[in-house]
Structure 1
Amino acid sequence: MKKTFLFLVFIIQILPVHSQPDSTDIKNYNSGYGYDFIINNKKLNIISNSRNIYEYFKNKQIDSCILFDFNQFINEDNYNKGLLLKNNIFLFRDYDKTKLSKDLSWKESPFNNRNWQWYLHQLKTIQFFISAHHYTNDNTYLKLAYKHSFDWEKDNLVRPFPSEFSWNDHSTALRLLNLLYLYEYSRNVGELNKKKFEKLTRLIVLHINVLIKRSFYNKGNNHGLFQSYILLWALNMFPEYINFDNYNSIAKKRTLFEIKHGITEEGVHIENSPSYHINHLILMSKIMKIFDYYGIKYNKAKYYDLLNKGFEFVYYCVKPNGYIPIIGDSEDMKLRKNSYLNNYNFLPNYQLLRVALGEEEPNKHTPKYKYYPESGYFIYKSLKNSVENSMQLIFKSGFLSFTHKHSDDLSFVLNGFEEDWVIDGGLYDYVYNNQYRNYFISNRAHNLVIPDSLSFIRKWSSLKKSNLDSFIVNKDSIYVRGTHFLYKNLFTKRSITIYNDSCFVVSDNISLKNIQNKKSNYDLLLHVPLNKKISVINDSVIIQGINKKLIITPINTDFDKIEIISGQLSPEVQAWTSSNFRKLEKCYCLVFRKRAKDFHSFLKFEFKDL
C-alpha cells in the first residue's frame, strides 16, 4: 500500500531545553496565585471563584478555530489507537504496540528512544481518546483523556522530573495544544464539568506561564515557532486571563519573528529538508487563520507573497510522481492535499501546487528550472508530456541553519523516467550517538567528493560557508555552480551543466591551501537504489533501470579504481538509505577513487533506451 504524507504529523529534531519551570511556577500553580481572570469587569481567581468562572466559560461561544484544527486528526487510525489505549496499549507512529501499567511513572521508554518519550509527554494520547469518543460517543474515552492528563500533572510537577521531556521546549508547547483540544472538544460535546474545568484550566494557565518565560523560549528554530504560536493561540482562547494584554503582545511578536526567520525571501524554509518546508507552509497558513479568526493584525500582503513563493518551491522539489525526495530529514511520502493550504487557493502559484498533487496537468509555459541562490537550491524539473518521460535534478548547497542539517552541501539527487537514479540518505531516526543516524547526517551518506575521509566542519562559523554562486542559461545548456569551505584548508567547487532532459555533466574541483605537494585520497560517492543493476565496463558505469539505462562516463578524468559497495558496516558504515522513519535499507554506493594533490573530474550522465 502506498504511504501518504500526513501534513499535520511533525517529527521535529529534539533540541536541548533552555530552562525548566522553577519552584515559583509550581507554588503559584498549587496556590492559585496569579491564576486570575477578568470577567464582567471583576477579578476572579480560578480556585476561590471557580463556580463563577466555570459558568462563564461554559456558556461562552464555541471556538470554531480550534475545532477546525483538531478535526484534522479525528480519523480512523487515531480511533483505533484510542481503542488500544483503553487497554493501556500504546502505539505511537512506527513503533510497535506496547502495553504499560495503568499508573504511569512517566519515565517509561520501552524502546529506549527519545522520540517515543517525546510523543508520550506531549500527551498525544488526547488525540486518540478524542477520536475514539467521536466515533463511539462513549464517554469512557473522555474520562480516560482527563485521567491521563491529570496523571501526567501528578508526576510531572514534582522535582526531579521523570523525563527530559516533562518540560522540554517542544513537548511543552505541543502538550498545551493537546490540552486546548481536550478543553474545547469537551465544551463542544457538553462534557466539561466544574471539577474538570478547574483542573484543566489551571493546567493550561500553568503552561502559558511557563511558555511566556524568556529563558524557556527557544528562539530561532521550529521549536520556537511551535512555542510562540501555540502560546498565542491559548491566550486568544482565554483573553479574560489577567496577563492577556502583555503576554499576547509578546507571543505575537515572537510568532511573527519565527515565521520570518524560518523562511528566506525566496520563500524557502531554511531547515534543510523539503518535508520541513511543507510543514512550515502549513504552519504559516494555520497561523494566518488564527490571526484572522481572532482579529490579530499582521502584514497580509507580505505573508501571502511568502506563501505563494513557497508553493512554487513545493512544485519544483516534489518528484514528478508526487513523492517528496529524501533530502535532509525528509521522508519518501506522497504529497497530500491540506485543508489549511486550501484556504489560499487564490494565490497564483497554488496552481503549481495542484500540479505537484497530481490534480492538474503541467503548464507547458512553466519554466523547467528554478535557481534559489539565497536558499541554496537549483532544481531542474522537466515533466514533458507524462511522468514516464520526466526528469528532475536537485542540486543543493546552502548552510543557513543547523536544524535538520546534513553534511550534504554540493550533493545532488536525480529522478527520471519514473525512477530514482541517484539518491540521498534520508532521516532514519532522531537519536543521538547512533551509528546509523551519525552516518546519515555525515557527508558519506551523500553524493559528494570526500578527501582523505574528512568530515565537514559543523560550527557556528560554518553558517553561510556554502552557496550557489553562478548560474548561466545559454542557448543549448544551463550551467550552475556551487562552492563551500567546509573542509579544513580546502576550497570545494562543483558545477552541473545540463544539455537536455537526458544529458548533463558534473564537474568537481578541490584545491588544497598551504600544503606543499601533499597528495590526498579522494572518493567521489554516488548512491544508487538497490533495485538497479550496475556494471562497470572499461571506465564507464552503466546503471540499468526498468525502461532506461543511465551511463556515467568520465571525461578527461582517470580514476584509480571504481568500486561498488552495498550495506557496509565496517570499517565504516556506508551504502545505506532510509526512505522512512526508522527504516533502514541497503543501497549501492559507487566510489570513484583517485589519489592526487588537487582533485579535478568531469562525469557525463546520459540516459539511453534499453
Structure 2
Amino acid sequence: MTDRQPPVLTQVLAKYLPEPSDRIRSTSRAIIDRTTISVHSYESIPIADWFWHSGDHSARSWRFSLHSFAPLDALMACGEWTETQALVREWADAFGTPDLEDLGDFPWHDHATALRLDRLSVLRLLSKTPKFTDLAARHADVLMQEAFYSKHTNHGYDQALALLLASYAFKADIDTSAWTEMGLSRLIDELKFAFTPDGVHVENSPAYHVGMTANLVRARLVKALAGVETEFDFDTLLNDALAFTAWIIGPDRRLAMLGDSTERSGLPPTELSSFPNYAHALYAASGGTSGAPLEGTSKIFDHAGYAVYRSRWSPWNDHVHLTMKSGFLSRYHRQDDDLTVLLQGFGEHWLIDSGLYNHNQMDPVRIYMRSELAHNVPHIRGCPVSRTLPEPDAAPTLTMERPDDGSVVFRGTTNAYRNTAVTRTVVIESAETFQIVDTVRSQNPEAQTLFQFHVPANKTVRATTKMARIVGRTKELIIRVAAGEVGDARVFSGLDGPFKSAYSPRHNALEPTQVIVFGPLKGNRIRFRANFQDLS
C-alpha cells in the first residue's frame, strides 16, 4: 500500500489484507521457500510438489481456504508480486476455465469463487498488472449467473460485494458496468435480508453477527470507492448492529457462544467511532475500561430471537449475564438450539454452549455440536429436530415481560421437534435467582423428554434426583426441580456415554465438558429453580 493512493482505496485495501507483521512476513517467506502454508486455523501445512495439491483435500474447510486464494494474502501484504502472480498463473492453467455445466464444488465453489475474485481485484489494484483480467472476467461471468448465486446467505453477500469491488479494480481494462449494476443491486438486497429490523444478523450466531458487521463496514467503503449511490441507510443499520454487540458480550468480554461461534471479542470497528452505540460496544468489549455503559438490565431482540439480562453495567466485575435464544431466520449456520440459555456470573461460566468446531457436516463431532444434545434445551426421544425453515406461523418466538414485582420474564416457543410444541419461560427474580419453566406437548405418546444443562469441566457437579449442585470458586449454583416430576438426574462428561458434552473454543479444537441430565419427564410440565449461594 502506498501513500499516493486515494484515502478510501487505502481503507478498502486494509480490509482485505493483513498488516505485514513479523508473523505475516514469516508466513510469506515459508510459501516462497516452498516449505509450509499457514492460513486461518491451519498452521504449517507442508507444501506439496505442486502448490495447489498441498494439504488434506478431503477436508472441505482446507479446500475452501486454498481455492479462495487465502494463502496469497501474506504474499500480497509483503509485496511479493512475482510469487503471487506465479501461483495465480499455476492455478489458472489448471482450473481457470470453469465447466459451466458443473459448477458449485471446488475449485468453483460459490463462496470460494467470490473470495478468489476479491484477491484478484486486490492484486490488480496493488501490483498494477492487467495480466489476469480475462481470469477475473470469467469469475465475474460465473458469479453473475442466477443459478450460481447463493441468494440471501453470507455467501451471496460476498458474491455481490466481489462483483462491486472487481468492477472498480478492472474498469480500466474492460467494461465492468454490468458488474457494478448487478453487484450493487444484489448487495442491497442481501443487506436487507441479512439483518433483522432490530439490527441483528440472521445466521444464528453472535460471532457471525460481528463478522458481518465488519463486512458491512467493508461494503460501505467499497461502495464509496466504486462511486455508486444508493438510498440504503448503512449508518442506521451499523448503529443498531453495535447495540446488539454491546448486549451480547458477556462478563468475560467475549461474545456469547451461541450457534456457530468461536471464542472472540466483540471489539467494534474503529471506523464506527462516531456512531452513538460505538461507545457502548466498546465499553462491553473492554470490560468497562473504555467507552460508556448502556442503561437497563434487560433487552430483547425479538425479530432475531435473542434476549439478554445483565444484572448491572457498572461496576463490570462479577456481574451476571444470562442470554436466551429462540429464532430461526436462515438455514445457514443453524444449530438445534431454540430455547437454550447461557449463564455467566461472579467471574465464572455456569451454563455453556458447544460452539462451531468445524464446517464438515460429515464429522461426527460436528453432527453432535449442531444437535440439541449439545445445548441447554430439552432432548425429546422420538421427536427429531427439523432444520427446515419454518413457515411464519410455526416459527420460534421470543418475548419479554417486566412484571411489577421487578422480575424479568423471557418466554420462548419452538415447533422444531417433530409433532411437538415446547414453551420455555425464564423468570429472572434477581441476579442470584431465576426459574426455568418448560411445557412440552407432543402428539407422540412414546415421546420421552429429558432436560440438559451443560457446564464447564472445571466445575464440581453433584446430582440427586431433584437437585444438582454446580460448585465454582466462590459460589455454587443449585438447580432444583421445584414443580413436576422427573425420573432421575445424572452427570456425563466428554464424548463417551449416552449423553455427550464438549466445547470448541476455536476451529477444530475440542475440550470435554459436563452435562447434567434430568429426566425423563413425567407429565408435560416442569419448573426448575436455580439460585447462587456463597461457599461456606
Please report the TM-score for the alignment, with normalisation by the length of structure 1: 0.81
Q: Does 1:174 align with 2:115?
A: yes
Q: Does 1:304 align with 2:235?
A: yes
1:282 alignment partner, SS class:
helix
Distance of 1:219 and 1:413 partners within structure 2: 32
1:361–1:78: structure 2 CA closer, same or farther, 3 Å change rule? closer
**What is the match of residue 224 of structure 1?**
156
Deviations 1:239-269 (A, max 9, x none): 3455433331111100111111100000000
| 1:455 positional shift | 2.3
| 1:77 positional shift | 2.7
Q: Does 1:393 align with 2:393?
A: no
Equivalences for 1:188-587 in 2 at 5 Å? Answer: 197-240=129-172, 242-299=174-231, 302-337=233-268, 341-358=269-286, 360=289, 366-452=295-381, 454-461=383-390, 465-475=394-404, 476-513=406-443, 518=445, 520-536=447-463, 539-571=466-498, 574-587=500-513
Query: Which AA in structure 2 matches 1:329?
Result: D
Equivalences for 1:43-192 in 2 at 5 Å? Answer: 63-88=9-34, 89-104=36-51, 106-110=52-56, 112-133=58-79, 141-157=80-96, 164-187=105-128
Distance of 2:97 and 2:292 partners within structure 1: 60
| 1:441 positional shift | 0.5
Distance of 1:163 and 1:271 partners within structure 2: 21
User: Aligned pairs, how many?
Assistant: 526
| 1:118 positional shift | 0.7
Matched-pair contact (CA < 8 Å) for 2:464–2:488? no
Distance of 1:60 and 1:366 partners within structure 2: 42
Matched-pair contact (CA < 8 Å) for 1:312–1:352? yes
Range that drifts further, 178-187 or 322-331: 178-187
1:495–1:183: structure 2 CA closer, same or farther, 3 Å change rule? same
1:446–1:120: structure 2 CA closer, same or farther, 3 Å change rule? same
| 1:428 positional shift | 0.6
Distance of 1:96 and 1:72 partners within structure 2: 16
1:388 alignment partner, SS class:
coil
Distance of 1:61 and 1:564 partners within structure 2: 60
**What is the match of residue 529 of structure 2?**
604
| 1:64 positional shift | 3.3
Distance of 2:391 and 2:415 partners within structure 1: 8
Distance of 1:444 and 1:557 partners within structure 2: 22
Distance of 1:396 and 1:486 partners within structure 2: 13
Q: Report which of the two structures shows the higher radius of gyration computed on alpha carbons.
A: 1
Q: Does 1:590 align with 2:531?
A: no
Matched-pair contact (CA < 8 Å) for 1:375–1:398? yes
2:150 alignment partner, SS class:
coil
Range that drifts further, 350-359 or 305-314: 350-359
Deviations 1:513-540 (A, max 9, x none): 3x5xx35322101100001111125632
1:537–1:512: structure 2 CA closer, same or farther, 3 Å change rule? closer
**What is the match of residue 14 of structure 1?**
none
Distance of 1:144 and 1:362 partners within structure 2: 44
Higher relative contact order (CA 8 A, sep 6+): 1
Query: Which AA in structure 1 matches 2:22?
Result: E
Query: Which AA in structure 2 matches 1:553?
Result: R
Distance of 1:99 and 1:304 partners within structure 2: 44
Distance of 2:5 and 2:418 partners within structure 1: 63
1:389 alignment partner, SS class:
coil
1:427 alignment partner, SS class:
coil
| 1:116 positional shift | 0.7
1:362–1:107: structure 2 CA closer, same or farther, 3 Å change rule? closer
1:529–1:453: structure 2 CA closer, same or farther, 3 Å change rule? farther
Structure 2: which 5+ runs fail to align?
Answer: none
Range that drifts further, 211-220 or 400-409: 211-220
Over the aligned positions, Cα root-mean-square deviation in angstroms equals 2.4
Distance of 1:217 and 1:163 partners within structure 2: 10
Distance of 1:84 and 1:253 partners within structure 2: 41
Matched-pair contact (CA < 8 Å) for 1:126–1:182? no
Distance of 1:479 and 1:61 partners within structure 2: 52
Deviations 1:73-121 (A, max 9, x none): 43333222112112221222333423223434x3544263110111111
Please report the TM-score for the alignment, with normalisation by the length of structure 2: 0.92
| 1:215 positional shift | 2.2
Q: Taking every aligned residue pair, what percent have the same amino acid on both sides? A: 25
1:458 alignment partner, SS class:
coil
1:354–1:292: structure 2 CA closer, same or farther, 3 Å change rule? same
Query: Which AA in structure 2 matches 1:522?
Result: T
1:380 alignment partner, SS class:
strand
